[in-house]
Structure 1
Amino acid sequence: MTRRLILMRHAKSSWDDPRLDDIDRSLNARGQSNAKTMGAWLKAQGYFPDQALVSVATRTQQTFERVAQGLGMQPELRVIDRLYLASELRILQELKKATGQTVLLIAHNPGIGEFAARFAKNPPAHGDFLRYPTCATTVFELGAENWSEVRYGANPVLDFAIPREIDI
C-alpha cells in the first residue's frame, strides 16, 4: 500500500499580544476557520492521515485540532519539539521516524516551504507553492517503500491547496 505525506503549514496566528513568546502564539479567528476548512478538504479528497507529526508550538497544535475537526477523525498525534521552526533537513530527519501509512506533518516557514520544494518530484505550477502561505497543504505520494528511506526530489505531488481557493 502506498504511503502518503500531507504537509501543512500552520494556519494564521495572532499577533495581538506582543508579550507572548513566539512559541505560545495562538490561531486567530481566520486561522481557526482555515484549518477546519483544510480538514474538510482533506476529507472530501479522501486523504485520511493515521498519524500526525506536529510542532510543539501552540499555533501548530491548534491547527491540528481544527484540521481533525474538519476531517471528523483524530489521527495518532506526536508533538515534536524539533519541528518548532525546523529547517528542511530537520523536517526530513523527523519524517524518517514516522510510522503511519498516511502522515500529516504540521510545521513552520521557512523550513516547511523549503522542504516542500525539495521533497517534490514534480512541484506544482501553482503560484503560492514556493511561498507556502499559512495553511498551505501539499499531498505527496512517497517515492520510497518506507519512511526511513525517503529522500528529496523523489515524491510525486498528488495535490496542493490553500484555504482561500477551497469551496467546501
Structure 2
Amino acid sequence: MEKQRLLVVVRHAKAEAFAPSDADRVLTAGGRGDGQALGAWLAAEGIAPDVAYVSYAARARETWEAVSRGAGWGLAPQIDGNLYATDEEGVLEIVRTTAEDASTVVVVGHNPTMAMLTQLLDDGDGEATDSVELGTFPTGAAAVFEVDATWEDLAPMGCRLRAFHVGRA
C-alpha cells in the first residue's frame, strides 16, 4: 500500500492594505492571531509538515511564522519567489519536486491561486468537499488533502479534501 501523504494548502492571514509594494504588505495584529489559531488547529489535527513552501511576500512569510508558532513546529520553510505570482499549475509543479520520503507538505500562498488549487485538487469524495464554496478561500484558511499518489504524480482531482478550517483568534 502506498503511504499516506497530506497536502495542506494555506492562504496567508489578513494583511495590511498598504505598503511600499504589494510584496511588502505585512500581517495585521488580527492576522497574526489568526495564523496562530490556525497553527493550533493544525497541530490538534496531528499535522506536522516535513516540507513547507512559502511565498516570499512578507504576509506569507509572517503567516508561516504565526502558524508555526501556534502549532509548535520548528521546520524552516523553503521561501519560493514563484509562489507569489504563479497559478495553480505552477504550485503543482513546485509540490511535484518534493522528495518522496516527505509525508506532509504545507504550501502558503495567495488568492486566487489557493482557492483555484483547492478546487482543482478535490476529487469530490472527501469529508470536507462541500465546505469550500467555489471562488472562496478566506484569509487564514487551510485545506487539508489526502494524497494517494506520489508527489511527482500529483494531479488535478487526485486528492481527497479531508478538512477545511479558517483560523480565527
Paired with 1:127 and 1:103, the residues of 2 have a C-alpha distance of 20
Amino acid at match of 1:82: N
* Corresponding residue number in structure 1 for 2:85: 85
**How do residues 10-159 of structure 1 correspond to structure 2 at under 5 angstroms?**
10-17=12-19, 20-99=20-99, 100-122=102-124, 124-126=129-131, 128=133, 130-144=135-149, 146-159=150-163
* CA deviation after TM superposition for structure 1 residue 16, in Å: 4.5
* CA deviation after TM superposition for structure 1 residue 143, in Å: 2.6
Paired with 2:23 and 2:98, the residues of 1 have a C-alpha distance of 23
After TM superposition, the score normalised by the length of structure 2 is 0.90
Q: Please report the RMSD computed on the Cα atoms of aligned residues, expressed in angstroms.
A: 1.6
Q: Is contact 2:36–2:70 with CA below 8 Å preserved after alignment?
A: yes
CA gap 1:46/1:129 in 2 versus in 1, 3 angstroms:
farther
Amino acid at match of 1:64: W
Paired with 2:144 and 2:89, the residues of 1 have a C-alpha distance of 19
Paired with 2:60 and 2:112, the residues of 1 have a C-alpha distance of 14
Paired with 1:31 and 1:15, the residues of 2 have a C-alpha distance of 12
Amino acid at match of 1:8: V
Paired with 1:119 and 1:82, the residues of 2 have a C-alpha distance of 19
Amino acid at match of 2:10: M
What are structure 1's unaligned runs of at least 5 residues? Answer: none
Runs of 4+ in 1 over 2 A off after TM superposition: 127-130
Q: Is contact 2:53–2:107 with CA below 8 Å preserved after alignment?
A: yes
Q: State the SS of the aligned residue for 2:17.
A: coil
User: After alignment, is 43-52 or 116-125 more displaced?
Assistant: 116-125
Q: Is contact 2:132–2:164 with CA below 8 Å preserved after alignment?
A: no
* CA deviation after TM superposition for structure 1 residue 128, in Å: 4.6
Aligned residues: 162
Q: Is contact 2:4–2:103 with CA below 8 Å preserved after alignment?
A: yes
* CA deviation after TM superposition for structure 1 residue 98, in Å: 1.7
Paired with 1:127 and 1:141, the residues of 2 have a C-alpha distance of 16
